[in-house]
Amino acid sequence: MELDISEQDPEDMDLTDVVFEYDELVSAISVLEKRREELRTRILNTFMEKDIDVLRVGNVELRRKKVEWKLWRINRLKSYLMERKLWDIVESVNRKTLTKLIEKGILTEEELKGMYDIETRYSLHVDRV
């Protein structure tokens, strides 16, 4: 893969050049993201196979962190929030908004039980050591 990044300021470039460079960047990012996902899957599989959470290779350290995601059951949740006159705040099932309502004490985990499933996901964090 080859990527030619122009050193010119976009303000000084012809619009055609800007569009072509933008297209090159979008294509390159797509290729890189696909490759990153392939590598991430292989690394996470290794973590699972070896039952580890930290992997060091040279001065690179990878940490696997477990995150539990709530998969909201929209039908149950929406009717409950409408009853509590909170649906206008949420408007759609948005994890961050719901988390803030719980953190502020407007909603509690207890009253929302049964309105979501939990899915375990893992994130990877890279550090140079």
- The pLDDT, as a whole number, for residue 86 is 82
Q: Judge whether 121 and 71 are in contact, CB under 8 Å.
A: no
The model's pLDDT over 3-23, given as tens digits with 9 standing for 90+, comes to 555 566 667 678 888 888 888
The model's pLDDT over 64-123, given as tens digits with 9 standing for 90+, comes to 998 888 888 888 888 888 888 888 777 666 778 888 889 999 989 888 888 888 888 888
Element (H, E) at 65: strand 60-72
Check: pTM over 0.85? Answer yes or no: no
**Coarse DSSP helix, strand, coil percentages of the chain, rounded to the nearest 5 percent:** 50, 25, 25
* Contacts for 18 with CB less than 8 Å, ≥ 6 apart: 10
- The pLDDT, as a whole number, for residue 2 is 54
Query: Which pLDDT band holds residue 49 (cuts at 50, 70, 90)?
Result: very high
